[in-house]
Chains A and B, each alone.
Chain A
Amino acid sequence: MRFAEPIADATAPLARRNPTAKVVAAMLLTLCLAVSLDPVTPAVAIAVELAVLPLFGLHYRALLRRLWPLLLTSALASASYLFFGQKTGETVAAFGPLTVTTGTLDSALSLFLRLVAVALPSIAVFASTDPTDLADSLVQNARAKPRFVIGALAAFRLLPLLANDWEMLRLARRARGVDAGRNPLANVRLFASTLFALLVIAVRRGTRLATAMDARGFDSGRPRSAARTQRFGPADATLIAASGMVGAVAIATSVYAGTFAPLLS
């Protein structure tokens, strides 16, 4: 099993950008989207995001295949606003005590668009970035501490092993004569105890890996060198600037359209 394999074509023009630059660009855009609560700001952002996805080496169809559960949950979360949001404006439809007004329609749509607009940049970044490159870049370009970044990278590699541990723990419980049958409460208890065992195993695996890393001189206080160089060039700075521009244009459009609704007012 491979975890979070980059699914993008790594040679695409924006996929090749510096990983830290990609992360900062995504964060910047997300920040702009948090400024306003209206639907126009995220709608403009989504339009631009969808337009540049191919430059990150991503194909719409492959992306949709992976992301439909996320879209569905965003839609469901937003739908709750339809019925339970603040009932302002005219009533559009009524189902007994549940009424949908133009106000709730507006806030549900805004929420859905914002979730999608925030998710897309992060997905573009992580789908087009190798975890090792990201870690290297965070250490070399963002001066992050190797102790945390490389440590997290190594821990990340253990995740597929945990999937196998989970399966073995489940089977071993059955072998020991423990099952829950059809009793839902017993099922929850068994799940919780298996989860706890997984936690214990995960800690032990992590400790062994940490010892092995320690034995190889990791975090020994000596200055670390870098086997792989990550460069931060003008194109990377441009990506960050462009992302800020997209955010600014989205907000400006919303102000011009008269829909701007500041988060803090």
Chain B
Amino acid sequence: MRGVDLRIERGEHVLLLGPSGAGKSTLLAALGGLHAEDSGEQEGTIAVDGAPPRHRAATAMLFQDPEAQIVMARTGDDVAFGLENIGVPAAEIWPRVVAAMRAVGFPYGREHRTDALSGGEQQRLALAGAIAAGPDLLLLDEPTANLDPASAAVVRESVGRALAESDATLVLVEHRVADWLPLIDRVVVLTAGGGVIADGPPVVVFGTRGEELAAAGVWVPGLPGGSTRSLADVIVPRPPASHPAGDLLLAGEGLGFTHPGASRPALSTVDIEVRANRALAVTGPSGSGKSTLALLLGGLLAPTQGSVRATRRLAGASDAEKPPHRWRAPKLATRIGSVFQNPEHQFLTGRVRHELALGPTGAGRTDADVMSTVDGLLSKLHLDHLADANPYTLSGGEQRRLSVATALAAAPTVLVLDEPTFGQDRRTWTELLLLLGRLRDEGCAVVTVTHDTDLVNALADATVVLDAGRALDTAVRT
């Protein structure tokens, strides 16, 4: 981030926009006074309320990852944590804790265990902790990016309630703009290294510069009161019309899984078919067993109930009798590729280039062949300039693209992805969609576990809806 000139007045509700890597989170952290004086290079000055922002008690922040924000074991203690830190007298703490929990609509009392909360509930608790001290500046860094749509809606509502009860200033970073618009009265758009490129009321910014912003990676919503069509229809060309369904590749029959020591199965008696030339979406609320189903189809977990069978077309003659979870890993990677929800779990090497070479090298391909595969993927997923970077240093969007690319490098026939579009800017989202559509049309099977209804609408040929570990409904698009 550089060259940003920005003045925010008291009480404004500002949305910060920009493509991946434009420095939105960096700016937010700077406003929150979180950059130590010796971290990175600094230019220019920043002041909140006329003073440097470090250790300012009246600033509250909320981050993307709910798990990394909960400090204490009990809900009430967690909300009280921030009040203790600024030295609020003991007698005042608990009334304020109760008030903050009520203000965000937190559904449990103050003795509830924080490790028994869902991601959305944790995020509301973190919000209660943030507003308990009565801040006049609220900084929210993609607070709903890791949540399913229902939880995200509740968190947005909580933010709305908290804002309605105070005259606090809001600065928000969020990719999915449309849902937040009712709370916003000013939009500021940043570019990588280029400072502020647009600034004004949402209607003006999106109205006059919508196309340009969309091209730069910003999610531009249909303007308020205008089109009611879904975001995907407005901005993303649909992939070419579907081909006829191809051969059966994988079949799960009566599939179920119970974690060791768990009282209730994570997944139970699910029947599922994975076919070539087909994109299958698996949807359902958090905790419904979607990720477990992805691991079972990916040949990574052994089912505790039912079976996963691979056809001869996928497994070849040698392994057709064996279930995928008993295949050797190098064989598995060339047949079924898995992309995990957290990309960082998947990185094995210190460089982007080596990361991509790992799969094809393991499959015994020649050096020249590996080189051309790696270069092809680097350019296809716009990672060329990062070829020698460490995967852990990439931004969230870049890491996501790399994790998809690593799975593709081994050229699997089936690709299983867990929430591939979480927290992506519009450009990455569109590229992923087109890439998956192309793979599907080239004869692969694409299985996507997702909360993203736009992705389902734009890509899926069939949808399996899970609830509490069971398949509720299987819809096939005609």
- List residues of chain A with CB under 8 Å of any chain B CB: 2, 130-132, 150, 153-154, 157, 160-161, 165, 168-169, 171-179, 181, 193, 197, 200-201, 204-205, 208-209, 211-229
- List residues of chain B with CB under 8 Å of any chain A CB: 29, 32, 34, 55, 57, 59-61, 63, 65, 67-74, 77, 80-90, 93-94, 97, 114-115, 126, 129-130, 133, 295, 298, 300-301, 328-330, 332-334, 337-338, 340, 342, 344-348, 358-359, 362-363, 392, 406-407, 410
| Given A132-B77, A222-B87, A227-B94, A175 contacting B340 (CB threshold 8 A) | yes
Contacts of B29 in A (CB 8 A): 211
**Are A225 and B88 closer than 8 Å at their CB atoms?**
yes
**Are A173 and B87 closer than 8 Å at their CB atoms?**
no
Contacts of B68 in A (CB 8 A): 205, 208-209, 212
**Are B340 and A218 closer than 8 Å at their CB atoms?**
no
Measured in the bound complex, the distance between the Cα atoms of B83 and A228 in whole Å is 12
Contacts of B328 in A (CB 8 A): 179, 181
Distance of A118 from chain B, by nearest CB (Å) = 28
Contacts of A212 in B (CB 8 A): 61, 63, 68-69, 71, 126
Contacts of B362 in A (CB 8 A): 177-178
**Are B348 and A193 closer than 8 Å at their CB atoms?**
yes
**Are B340 and A132 closer than 8 Å at their CB atoms?**
no
Contacts of A217 in B (CB 8 A): 55, 57, 82, 85-86, 133
| Given A175-B337, A227-B93, A132 contacting B73 (CB threshold 8 A) | yes
Measured in the bound complex, the distance between the Cα atoms of B103 and A61 in whole Å is 46
**Are A225 and B87 closer than 8 Å at their CB atoms?**
yes
**Which chain A residue has the least Cβ–Cβ distance from B361?**
A177
Contacts of B334 in A (CB 8 A): 177
Distance of A169 from chain B, by nearest CB (Å) = 5
| Given A208-B63, A224-B85, A224-B87, A173 contacting B329 (CB threshold 8 A) | yes
Distance of B34 from chain A, by nearest CB (Å) = 6
Q: Which of B59, B65, B73 contacts A208 (CB 8 A)?
A: B65
Q: Which of B74, B93, B126 contacts A225 (CB 8 A)?
A: B93
Q: Which of B59, B63, B93, B342 contacts A168 (CB 8 A)?
A: B342
Top 8 A-B pairs, shortest CB-CB distance: A177-B333, A179-B329, A208-B68, A217-B85, A227-B80, A175-B338, A215-B61, A216-B82
Distance of B120 from chain A, by nearest CB (Å) = 17
Distance of A162 from chain B, by nearest CB (Å) = 11
**Are B332 and A174 closer than 8 Å at their CB atoms?**
yes
Q: Which of A2, A169, A220 contacts B55 (CB 8 A)?
A: A220
**Are B55 and A221 closer than 8 Å at their CB atoms?**
yes
User: 27 A-B Cβ contacts within 8 A?
Assistant: A2-B115, A157-B70, A157-B114, A171-B301, A173-B329, A174-B332, A175-B298, A175-B407, A176-B329, A177-B330, A178-B358, A178-B362, A179-B329, A193-B348, A200-B392, A201-B344, A212-B63, A214-B34, A215-B59, A216-B82, A219-B85, A222-B85, A225-B88, A225-B90, A227-B84, A228-B77, A229-B90
**Which chain B residue has the least Cβ–Cβ distance from A221?**
B55
Distance of B84 from chain A, by nearest CB (Å) = 5
Distance of A134 from chain B, by nearest CB (Å) = 11
Measured in the bound complex, the distance between the Cα atoms of B107 and A59 in whole Å is 35
**Which chain A residue has the least Cβ–Cβ distance from B54?**
A220
Measured in the bound complex, the distance between the Cα atoms of B342 and A208 in whole Å is 15
| Given A216-B129, A217-B55, A227-B80, A178 contacting B348 (CB threshold 8 A) | yes
Q: Apart from A176-B359, A222-B86, what are 13 other A-B pairs with CB-CB below 8 Å?
A: A153-B71, A154-B72, A168-B340, A172-B340, A176-B346, A176-B348, A177-B359, A177-B362, A178-B358, A197-B348, A208-B68, A220-B86, A224-B87
**Which chain A residue has the least Cβ–Cβ distance from B93?**
A227
**Are B71 and A177 closer than 8 Å at their CB atoms?**
no
**Which chain B residue has the least Cβ–Cβ distance from A210?**
B68
**Are A175 and B85 closer than 8 Å at their CB atoms?**
no
Distance of A193 from chain B, by nearest CB (Å) = 7
Contacts of A215 in B (CB 8 A): 32, 34, 59-61, 63
Contacts of B330 in A (CB 8 A): 177-179
Contacts of B59 in A (CB 8 A): 215
Contacts of B133 in A (CB 8 A): 217
**Are B71 and A154 closer than 8 Å at their CB atoms?**
yes
**Are B332 and A177 closer than 8 Å at their CB atoms?**
yes
**Are B94 and A174 closer than 8 Å at their CB atoms?**
no
